[in-house]
Amino acid sequence: MIWLTWRRHRKPALFAVAVLGLLAAVMVPTGLAMRAKFGDFGLGTCREALGTASMITQTEAVARCESLGHQFQREFGNLQFVAVLFVVLPALVGVFFGAPLVAREVEQGTHRLVWTQGVSRVRWALTTFGMTGAITAVLATGYALGVSWWFEPLVTASTGRLAFLAFDVQGIVPVAYTLFALALGIFAGTYWRRVVPAMALALAGYAVVRIAVEVLARPGYLPAQVRTFSPTGTQTPNPASGDWILTQNVRVDGQVVLPKAQLGPCPPGQCAAEPGTTNWLEFQPGDRFWTFQAIETGIFVLLTAALVCFAIRRIRTIA
């Protein structure tokens, strides 16, 4: 049964390997170039000297490190558009690998032959889903490791690993996204039972769930921290902390007067701030990266398991 499943689905698997090979041909040279420039700028050394505290004293060294970070982003920031492609890849697995898995059998009528042999429907489903899931997990792990290595210098020099896009293509969540997309495609195939509508359903469902989790759930996995600091003081947010800034504004006596803005820090006597003016920050600390990764991975693993169970139940009722 395993050998038969491999023979039937080896072409999509080999095609996925070929796509990853093409991506590697782009990622390796650009990744090496970014890492070489990152070292030439001395960004690793200056960021390490800043530490991981959320607030630090504004000095010339801090300003210089920030300037080097901006310079690095100007040179390689366009590569973030390539990273958007990596966000889309798991959805393509669900559309082109998951959705046709059952839908094509039912649409072409071959399920009547396959499911009436000595192997039961449940065993056929468990073997097929397990085999395709294992292949997908291996390929997704390779993809996640490669993208994490490639994206690390750009993320370190900019907003940190918790920010949108950076979080989505690094760590272990890409593997969970890919397995979820595969399971969603399989379930869509059992629901619609035609390939093209199932592919559209898988793509739309994946986009809705991903956006909902990313925008509505992720900022609240753990209670956010709040910090205020004076625009005329010497304290400033640490650009090397990797904190995920959720909201920032300028307040006077607790009332927001400048949304999405920050004043200072500037030396005493050189800022014309009214008495009672403060900078207000709401953020998730950068050291919560792996905690957030574990939480979001758990969410998508549970969704994947539920979709597989629903798909098997529906297969048992297909005539």
pLDDT tens-digit map of 234-281: 788 888 788 898 998 888 877 877 888 787 777 666 666 677 788 888
DSSP readout, 279-300?
A: EEEEEE-GGGHHHHHHHHHHHH
Crossing angle (nearest 10°) for helices 121-156 and 289-315: 160
pLDDT at 279: 87
**Poorest-pLDDT segment among 134-138, 182-186, 227-231:** 227-231
**89-112 per-position pLDDT tens digit:** 888 888 888 888 888 888 888 877
Per-residue b/e over 195-216, b at no fewer than 16 CB within 10 Å?
bebbbebbbebbeebbeebbee
Res. 119: pLDDT tops 80:
no
| pLDDT value of position 272 | 65
pLDDT tens-digit map of 135-155? 899 989 988 898 889 888 888
